[in-house]
Amino acid sequence: MKRLNSLVVTQTRILRADDLPFVTLLTQSAIAQIQKAFNFRQAMPMQPPLVPDPAGGIGFWGGEIEINSIPVTIQQVIIEPRKVTTVVAAPSDSSQKAYSMLTDLIRRLDSREPKPDLDPIVLTQETATVLELDFPITRLFEDGRIATFAKEIDSLSDRITPRVSIVPSGVTFRVSYLEPSDKLKANNVQLIDKDLKIELRMSTSIEENLFFISSPNSSDTHMKLIARLEEVFSQTSRKEN
């Protein structure tokens, strides 16, 4: 990898029913305290279809905190009755620390005793990166039948202008979570399919070798995936004699 331009981790936590003091969090005082603690520029209640839960949610945007004396951007936090989603421009460990800070505050706002621990039933993560690799995205399509088909697309496309450039710009893998645990079933938690995407960065040329890569993984696993991608495709394939 030549250069990492950006990394954003989205973490979604599903909690047990009624663990979050959601009615309390909807109050103006609670929203103001969360907004101040994370320096959010904007905070507001949200209603469907902006959030899937019919009870609505609370959204916070454009925050910043310090973790180990390093500024960390909190792009978004959405709190629903059973779900907390955080979008942080930092690796997964920083996202975890941001969540811990949030739950510490929520527990202080909660007047109930004993207070729920707010440990999630399940945590899902998605990491999105924009980065420069040392090979073009067309390298992914050089071998096999897809390469044969790609060469024919040009002659099978309508010519709206005299010249047309048609190049492969990405590949998507569908990730489905099979055989959910008894814990997920008991708490009526369903995991939706996710996508693993490897795409040409929008508004860039192939020669720049800039990629947008997202996966339903922690940042550590995501970077291992990218390292393997580079290992496989950095060298041009050699045809067997």
Report yes or no on whether pTM surpasses 0.85.
yes
Q: Out of 6-10, 118-122, 230-234, pick the least confident.
A: 230-234
Tracing tokens 């860039």 back to the chain, one arrives at 204
Q: Residue 216's pLDDT band (boundaries 50, 70, 90)?
A: very high
For residue range 12-51, list pLDDT tens digits in order: 999 999 999 999 999 999 999 999 999 999 999 999 998 9
**Which pLDDT tens digit goes with each residue over 46-93?**
999 989 899 999 999 999 999 999 999 999 999 999 999 999 999 999
Q: Would residue 8 count as lying in a domain?
A: no
Residues 77 and 172 placed together within one structural domain of the fold: no
- Confidence at residue 149, expressed as pLDDT on a 0 to 100 scale: 83
Q: What is the arithmetic mean of pLDDT over 156-167? A: 80
Phi, psi dihedrals of residue 68, rounded to the nearest 5°: 55, 40
Is 141 among the domain residues? yes
Q: Which of 120, 153, 183 is the last residue of a domain?
A: 120
Note whether 181 and 222 are same-domain residues: yes
Q: Which residue has the tokens 């905070």?
A: 43
Q: Same domain, yes or no, for 228 and 134?
A: yes
Distance from C-alpha of 92 to C-alpha of 154, rounded to nearest angstrom: 42
* Same structural domain, 116 and 141: no
Answer positive or negative: Cα dihedral of 66, 70, 74, 77.
negative
Domain end marker among 58, 92, 120: 120
pLDDT of residue 236: 62
Find the domain containing 194 and state its range.
Answer: 127-233
Please identify, among 88, 120, 152, the residue that sits at the C-terminal boundary of a domain.
120
198-226 in b/e burial notation, b at 16+ Cβ within 10 A?
bbbbeeeeeeebbbbbbbbbbbeebbebb
- 3-class secondary-structure state, position 31: helix
Q: Is 221 domain-assigned?
A: yes
When divided into structural domains, the chain yields a total of 2
Q: Are residues 102 and 179 in the same domain?
A: no
Of 103, 12, 111, 109, nearest to 53 by C-alpha is 12
Residues in the chain: 241
